[in-house]
Chain A
Amino acid sequence: DTGVSQDPRHKITKRGQNVTFRCDPISEHNRLYWYRQTLGQGPEFLTYFQNEAQLEKSRLLSDRFSAERPKGSFSTLEIQRTEQGDSAMYLCASSLDRDGTQYFGPGTRLLVL
């Protein structure tokens, strides 16, 4: 399968714990995006990378959230001191520079108890 992959697919954690999600984009896609989707809503933009550079961050991305793409390939999204309000589906997407079409992964569903 050459699509966007995300790991884990599901994560249950207790409030206050740290969690980390991984996204592997489509090979050769230099742009990588993170979105968050809550039940009954459309995805909301969190941040995006062009290669290893983080070019834009949403106001939704509080200080507890950090994203990295150290070698311009896979990316990680870490949430520190999780809160119940962080429960959501975290979606990753990738695209090429010359073509803005964003392809989404299956998402990581987070539940904070």
Chain B
Amino acid sequence: QKEVEQDPGPLSVPEGAIVSLNCTYSNSAFQYFMWYRQYSRKGPELLMYTYSSGNKEDGRFTAQVDKSSKYISLFIRDSQPSDSATYLCAMSRSGNTGKLIFGQGTTLQVKP
């Protein structure tokens, strides 16, 4: 079993829809949680960075962490065609050391 599970999709939604992306994990030692966006053939771009449980909002993006359920989510409001990309969740045991553990990535397509 992988430490981080993420539904690979693909997920297809119409423009303007609310998108929900999710990851589950098994290791309770994870403290820091991130969402990256990756366009085809490009490197991952950091979208959201959160510590422990709770919500964080940045523009159209909201990240939620529920450590009791080992479940994290990313919501995208008013989705745009330019949001079409692969979304990767990532997590680490410590905020300032070492490796990130990534999910498989969810491919999102927003249709005009």
Contact = CB atoms under 8 A, between A and B. Distances in A.
A66 B77 CA distance: 43
Question: DSSP majority for the A interface?
Answer: strand
Given A98-B96, A99-B96, A100-B95, A44 B102 contact: yes
B71 interface: no
B85 to A, nearest CB: 14
Contacts of B96: 95, 97-100
Interface in B91-109: 92, 94-105
Contacts, number: 64
B94 A100 contact: yes
B44 A91 contact: yes
A21 interface: no
Interface residues of A, number: 27
A48 interface: yes
B34, B45, B49, B102: residue with the most chain A Cβ atoms closer than 10 Å: B102
A85 interface: no
B18 interface: no
A107 B45 CA distance: 12
A107 B6 contact: no
A102 B101 CA distance: 12
B60 interface: no
B72 interface: no
Given A41-B105, A100-B94, A48 B46 contact: no
